[in-house]
Structure formats: structure tokens, C-alpha cells
């Protein structure tokens, strides 16, 4: 269990490194901005990776398109969170939060209860890193330590103050592809059965059609660099039926080109982006 937590932190550090690299770009060229990302990154690793990127090495070995995919995914979900908050939310649950810092930097959710769910080991490291950069902890923010192999998610959330009778946004980023089908079903069942009608879940998933195509090696190489292995995916043309069968409606799926359209423009129009990871949002009830 501890080994799995360490692997999860390795993935979280890798994603934080990607966000920190984006912050090193000129402001006019940034797709996503995270002033706290560098708190989780070794400065030597950040500078070394930045130099490799500037020299074109990351593009040469096929990593740069995956980095850009991660950044586009980050901002796409960021914008969805903002839109849902403006439409009216009562609370947010971030499942497998890792080193996500949205609760500290999105003004639209500053007044909302935010429950960050992850392994206690990961959360302890995150809190220590944030203290070093004096990141302000929102008043209604809650860290919910959960060992997903042994703990009851619902019990832990309710103990932390989670309410099942209010509109909730569940953010589940960078997790589904590393779970089993049973783990996916268990999580979606919790969302569908223990949140109010019109609550929303948003998550990214590997499109199995791409795993069988040209993007497969790139996806596996990139995730392997972070110590993970892709264990779950679903074909894009099956995702609507998949979620409707599990109690969700109004499924909105965004594939690679659709995700990229608002962001890979202007100075970023020539940034290569990998395909193979889509983002889906669905409504409870």
C-alpha cells in the first residue's frame, strides 16, 4: 500500500513538473498558470527539463506532445470547474488530488467547501510543500486521507463534512487509466448514489482506439517514466453508453482536437499535442 502511495506521488511530481515548466514560459505563451507547482519540483530537475525542451530533445524523443496534452488537459478541466462554479455549486470533491493546487488559485471556488481525497502519505508531503511557499489554505478546505485499498470513501468524506444532498462537482483527473474496471465502477457508483441530482463528475480516460494505434507507444512511454502502467481505457464511441448505464445523463465528451481548439492558437498554434486521452463530463440523475 505504501509502495502504491509512493508511485502515486511520483506521478503527482511529474504532473507538477509539467505545470512548473509551463509557468517558466513567457506569460503571453502560457496555456495554464500554476504559481505553486514549483513547490513540488526539484529545481535542478526543472531547469534540466526546461533546457532539454529548449534544445528540442523532448520533441525528438516524443515526450513534448504528451507534455502539451497534459497542459491542455489541465486548463480544459480548470475552465470546466470555473464554468460549473458560476452555474452554481455547493461543494467540490477532488478524487486522487495528488499535488493539484486549484483550490488555492481559482477565485470562483475560494468560498466553496473543497474536499481533497488522496492517500495520507501523499497529502502529508503536499501540505509540507505548500507551507514552504505560504500557500493560503482556503477556510473551507478539507484534506480527506483515504487508502483506497482499505478505507470506505463515503465514510471518510462524511466524517470530513461532505454532504450528499447538495450539488457537487467531482474532479477525477489523471486517475482512471491506472485503475481496474472494478475500481472505476466502485468510484462511479459512489458518485451516482451518494450525491445530489445534477451533480457533475469530470474525468479523463484513455481512448482504447488510440492504444491500438499510433499513440500507444507514446502514452505507455510517458506514463512509464512516472512509474505507472495504463490498466484501463474505453473507446470514445462507447463512453456515453458506459456512463448512462451507471446512472449518468447529459454526457459531454471532448476528444483531443476538441480539447486543444481553445488553447493551441496564436503563439501556441504549432505546439504538437498527443492524442489518446479524452475528457468527459456527466450529470448525476
Query: What pLDDT, in 10s, does the model give residues 44-89?
Result: 888 888 777 776 767 766 788 989 999 999 999 999 999 999 999 9
What is the average per-residue pLDDT within 197-219? Answer: 80
Total structural domains within the chain: 1
Name 118's bridge partners: 145
Q: Which CATH number characterizes residue 191's domain?
A: 3.40.50.150
The domain in which residue 258 lies consists of 2-284
Evaluate whether 102 touches 174 at the Cβ level (below 8 Å): no
Bridge pairing between strands 168-172 and 114-118: unpaired
Q: What percent of the chain has pLDDT over 70?
A: 88
What is the average per-residue pLDDT within 195-221? Answer: 80
pTM, 2 dp: 0.91
pLDDT band at residue 219 under the 50/70/90 scheme: low
Give the pLDDT confidence score for residue 227 in this predicted structure. 59
Whether residue 5 is predicted with pLDDT greater than 90 in this model: the reply is: no
pLDDT tens column, 176-197:
998 999 999 999 999 999 999 9
Whether residue 174 is predicted with pLDDT greater than 50 in this model: the reply is: yes
pLDDT tens column, 222-274:
666 655 678 889 999 999 999 999 999 999 999 989 999 999 999 999 999 98
Give the pLDDT confidence score for residue 62 in this predicted structure. 73
Give the pLDDT confidence score for residue 6 in this predicted structure. 46
Give the pLDDT confidence score for residue 193 in this predicted structure. 98
pLDDT: is 139 or 33 the higher one?
Answer: 33
What is the average per-residue pLDDT within 11-31? Answer: 93
pLDDT band at residue 9 under the 50/70/90 scheme: low
What is the average per-residue pLDDT within 115-142? Answer: 88
Give the pLDDT confidence score for residue 10 in this predicted structure. 75
pLDDT band at residue 209 under the 50/70/90 scheme: confident
pLDDT tens column, 133-170:
876 777 789 999 998 777 889 999 999 999 999 999 99
What is the average per-residue pLDDT within 113-131? Answer: 93
Amino acid at each position: 500500500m505504501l509502495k502504491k502511495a509512493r508511485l502515486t506521488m511520483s506521478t503527482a511530481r511529474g504532473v507538477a513538473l509539467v505545470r512548473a515548466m509551463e509557468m517558466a514560459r513567457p506569460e503571453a505563451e502560457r496555456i495554464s498558470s500554476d504559481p505553486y507547482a514549483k513547490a513540488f519540483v526539484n529545481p535542478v530537475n526543472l531547469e534540466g527539463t526546461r533546457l532539454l525542451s529548449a534544445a528540442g530533445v523532448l520533441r525528438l524523443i516524443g515526450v513534448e506532445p504528451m507534455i502539451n496534452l497534459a497542459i491542455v488537459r489541465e486548463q480544459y478541466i480548470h475552465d470546466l470547474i470555473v464554468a460549473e462554479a458560476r452555474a452554481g455549486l455547493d461543494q467540490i470533491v477532488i478524487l486522487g488530488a495528488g499535488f493539484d493546487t486549484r483550490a488555492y488559485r481559482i477565485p470562483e471556488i475560494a468560498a466553496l467547501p473543497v474536499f481533497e481525497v488522496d492517500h495520507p502519505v501523499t497529502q502529508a508531503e503536499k501540505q509540507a510543500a505548500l507551507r514552504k511557499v505560504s500557500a493560503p489554505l482556503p477556510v473551507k478546505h478539507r484534506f480527506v486521507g483515504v487508502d483506497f485499498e482499505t478505507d470506505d470513501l463515503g465514510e471518510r468524506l462524511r466524517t470530513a463534512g461532505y454532504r450528499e444532498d447538495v450539488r457537487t462537482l467531482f474532479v477525477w483527473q489523471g486517475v482512471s487509466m491506472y485503475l481496474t474496471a472494478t475500481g472505476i465502477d466502485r468510484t462511479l457508483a459512489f458518485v451516482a448514489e451518494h450525491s445530489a441530482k445534477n451533480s457533475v463528475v469530470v474525468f479523463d480516460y484513455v481512448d482504447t482506439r488510440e492504444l491500438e494505434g499510433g499513440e500507444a507507444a507514446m502514452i505507455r512511454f510517458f506514463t512509464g517514466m512516472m512509474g505507472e502502467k495504463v490498466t484501463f481505457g474505453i473507446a470514445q464511441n462507447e463512453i456515453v453508453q458506459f456512463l448512462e448505464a451507471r446512472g449518468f445523463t447529459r454526457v459531454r465528451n471532448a476528444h483531443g482536437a476538441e480539447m486543444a481548439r481553445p488553447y493551441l492558437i496564436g503563439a501556441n498554434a504549432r505546439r504538437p499535442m498527443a492524442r489518446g486521452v479524452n475528457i468527459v463530463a456527466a450529470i448525476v440523475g
